[in-house]
Structure 1
């Protein structure tokens, strides 16, 4: 591992004072602070050439980001054996962002970026600003460290999940020094029948998945992490999502997608440790060892031809999905959670339920965290809407196998896969460390 430049020396975080009327005690992180380059990047990103003395000052008063007198929303720790945002109870809103490293960025730049993101994420997920100075505690002659639109809001269940794309390991000249550390299973996804991928929604060296129960909290997180990346990485594409289309907790109701059907009935749940170990988490026996406790994320932007779908007879919609629209029960009978019966039943052999079911796919399962999206309308005046599909699996081959099986899915007539990406999701950060540290050990 190369020696970091002295300019990248980490600035220790300052003690944080409680906001007036805040019932929670101020928390002091023992993480290193954001690198000086990260702070300078914020200033340059706002059109200022430098940072006035004390902009990240140790004596600055922190902005807590918590509305006085309001009970704190759910908070999920950033540190842990696994990254949050995978088995975490699925929140209602998403801001997903894909990044590319800058052409001249070095190994040290990549390391410092992951350190800075991890430090900021550890604060944001507590409902705090990205630094002790925050949105209003720094020098009035310099851009604020934090953009400030989350002031007065709670953490809102925010989770931030960081991923590493195959292109990061395959950078020209191995400028990040990690080519030999690339997981053998991490490669660009193959082409699938029905793909109509748009480069504007595909790929990326890095990704951030921000989920929260308040959309402004999720957007605030990605906005500030994008600022921190200035000079080292740039935003490639992003996607807003609403209305979760899956569940990871037994007490969550099964949600509906934009076709009006319950989605994710048989999803792997957070309390199913056996299924998670088998299908989601990279094992200690898997290679490379630095990925143990991590997972692999596949993101697919799926346009839904809602106007065409809306003209289908209800019976034909049910046949396409293989479930009853109202109850969510399989067409073979029973209730929503009743196991489908395929032999000799009313379920079409090319229905979505049958082709995606583990019993016809060698027991393969994935953990889903999808969201609906509506991006206005297209040139034809139709809704630009669909599903932003997110799945976590122990190996990308699980997704590839399922997607190939869906090539004859009746639903394929009403959807188009227009965006795609795959990322290695390292295990969670240890306290005082950062996501991806094992890659550089």
Structure 2
């Protein structure tokens, strides 16, 4: 072949949508252990096959408009695998664009219940590592959604994105009660994979990490189980590890007015590439389970501001009754304590601010002291970081703070869904 023919063949996808370079990258990536990534190549995105599948997935995830990424207003699934990544040293803007293209292609396939390529886990050469790790073989898509975000640190001189950085996209400030581990905080990029089968969620992050080989390294990750919020009226209100119903007043997917007002970034509120997107906050919150479990029930109710049995506010009514902060209890004191979590977090106390929550419980074994290493992996979407910051500052005197420690934190801009034929972040990179 001539040099031109060789170059063309290098860019030609196989029947499953992978190029020769992509297959080589996966082979090199197979040398990585677990979720650690190193040097190599990756999948080649941008093929027509991938674009058509991507459009189908995104349209299915947001049938009303196709504007927003899945995994935000999608009915909250039962399991989570969240991962944060840093771009490797000496990577270029082209490397970043290629990685996002590769991720888009693979995510599109996996959200449809497919393997990352047509060759997949078992249909390739027996003399080469498989394209797909295979642990999801035979499993349905399980409502898998994959959501991508861009951290403040991505917008620096490495990739020439300084002018594209949203004004509010800065590392979150320190809050009262923070005891943050830098190795469990922040990151250039993030991926939120949610599914109703934990193996499907883990498979997604595992393969996307493998695809990142040579361009990005995983900084930290978190597994979650048992959703702590809901996004549709059909879902019941779940309970957190303190045993209380959580997310009763969450914004629902069909409340378009509330979403526009509180979650989606409009064209006038940020750079053009972020219009239709949102901001994602992740907070790893350790819950002092043993201390809480030794607390009397009446005190637990006071701290939360709700009845543990049915989730109703202590001012009366059922779970969905609006809290009455002027109501007086049997002892002539406010029925809902002034320092209760419900009161301090309520929109009426914070200028009407609401956020969309998608948190999960976690239990990561035990600590060195033999206590449960457990808590809430808090996830929220809001149209500006300032909204979350305002709410978090309002919780400075929260009585629940005695039982919590914030040990991880991060903020990412979440772009809108990629239009058909493009990759996630195409508006940012001009790809």
TM-score (norm. length: structure 1) = 0.86
> Which residue in the other structure is 1:12 paired with?
13
- Specify which structure has the higher proportion of helix: 2
Indicate conservation of the 8 Å contact 1:371/1:388, yes or no: yes
Kindly state the Cα deviation for residue 344 of structure 1 after the two structures are TM-superposed. Answer: 3.5
Match of 1:237 among 220, 229, 244: 220
User: CA shift at 1:199, angstroms?
Assistant: 1.4
Which residue of 72, 84, 102 corresponds with 2:88? Answer: 102
3-state SS of the aligned residue for 2:229? coil
The answer to whether residue 208 in structure 2 is matched with residue 208 in structure 1 is: no
- Structure 2: segments with no counterpart, 5+ residues: 1-6, 33-38, 48-59, 329-334
Aligned counterpart, 1:420: 409
Distance (whole Å) between structure 1 residues aligned to residue 288 and residue 363 of structure 2: 12
Deviation at 1:137, TM superposition (A): 1.2
Distance in 2, matches of 1:207 and 1:90, equals 18
Going from structure 1 to structure 2, the CA distance change for 1:35 and 1:320 (only over 3 Å counts) comes to: farther
SS in 1 for 2:128: coil
What CA deviation, in whole Å up to 9, does each residue of 1:43-85 have, x standing for no partner? 112239999xxxx9x9xxxxxxxxxxxxxxxx74799310000
| Aligned residues: CA RMSD | 2.2
Q: How does 1:281-300 map to 2 (within 5 A)?
A: 281-300=264-283
The 3-state SS of whatever aligns with 1:103 is coil
Task: Tell me if structure 1 keeps the 8 A contact 2:30–2:210.
Answer: no
Offset at residue 125 of structure 1 (A)? 0.3
- Between the aligned partners of 1:244 and 1:185, the Cα distance in structure 2 is 28
Deviations for 1:259-286, whole angstroms, at most 9, x for unmatched residues? 0000000000000000000100000212
Indicate if the aligned counterparts of 1:8 and 1:112 stay in contact, CA closer than 8 A: no
What is the Cα deviation at residue 440 of structure 1? 1.5
**Alpha-carbon distance in structure 2 between the residues aligned to 1:283 and 1:37:** 39
- Is residue 34–residue 115 contact of structure 1 (8 Å, CA) maintained in 2? no
- Whether 2:387 is the aligned partner of 1:398: answer yes
C-alpha distance after superposition, 1:408-429 (max 9, x if no partner): 0000000000000000000001
**The 10-residue stretch of structure 1 (232-241 or 75-84) with the greater mean CA deviation from structure 2:** 75-84
**1-side partners of 2:188 and 2:325: how far apart?**
41
Secondary structure, aligned partner of 1:97: strand
- From the superposition, tell whether residues 393 and 50 of structure 1 become closer, same or farther in structure 2 (CA, over 3 Å): closer
Instruction: Quote the residue 2:109 is aligned against.
Output: 123
Cα offset for 1:35?
A: 6.0
Hey, what does 1:46 align to over in structure 2?
30
Q: What is the deviation of 1:179?
A: 1.1
Question: In structure 2, what is the equivalent of residue 20 of structure 1?
Answer: none
2:331 corresponding residue in structure 1:
none
Query: Displacement of 1:161 after TM fit?
Result: 0.1
Confirm or deny: 8 A CA contact 1:135 1:147 kept in the other structure.
yes
The secondary structure found in structure 1 opposite 2:140 is coil
Q: For 1:215 and 1:8, how far apart are their aligned partners in 2? A: 38
Map 1:160-175 → 2, pairs under 5 A: 160-170=146-156, 174-175=157-158
Task: Say yes or no: does 1:176 pair with 2:159.
Answer: yes
The C-alpha deviation readout for 1:169-224, integer Å capped at 9, x for no partner, is: 12xxx121111101111000000000000112101000000000000000000000
Q: Confirm or deny: 8 A CA contact 1:77 1:125 kept in the other structure.
A: no
Cα pair distance change 1:299/1:34, threshold 3 Å = farther
Q: What is the SS of the residue equivalent to 2:76?
A: coil
Residue by residue over 1:372-412, the C-alpha shift from the partner in whole angstroms, topping out at 9 and shown as x without a partner, is 00000000000000000000000010100000000000000
Rounded Cα–Cα distance in structure 2 between residues aligned with 1:47 and 1:386: 34
Q: What CA deviation, in whole Å up to 9, does each residue of 1:119-140 have, x standing for no partner? A: 0001000000001111111111
1:210 touches 1:222 (CA, 8 Å); kept in 2?
Answer: yes
1:354-373 pair list within 5 angstroms: 354-373=343-362
- 1:311, distance to aligned residue in structure 2 (A): 0.5
Q: Is 2:422 the partner of 1:436?
A: no
State the number of aligned residues.
395
Is the alpha carbon distance of 1:333 and 1:13 closer, same or farther for their aligned partners in structure 2, counting shifts above 3 Å?
Answer: farther
CA distance in 1, matches of 2:9, 2:165: 26
Q: How does 1:315-326 map to 2 (within 5 A)?
A: 315-326=298-309
Q: Which runs of 5+ in 1 are unaligned?
A: 1-5, 16-32, 59-74
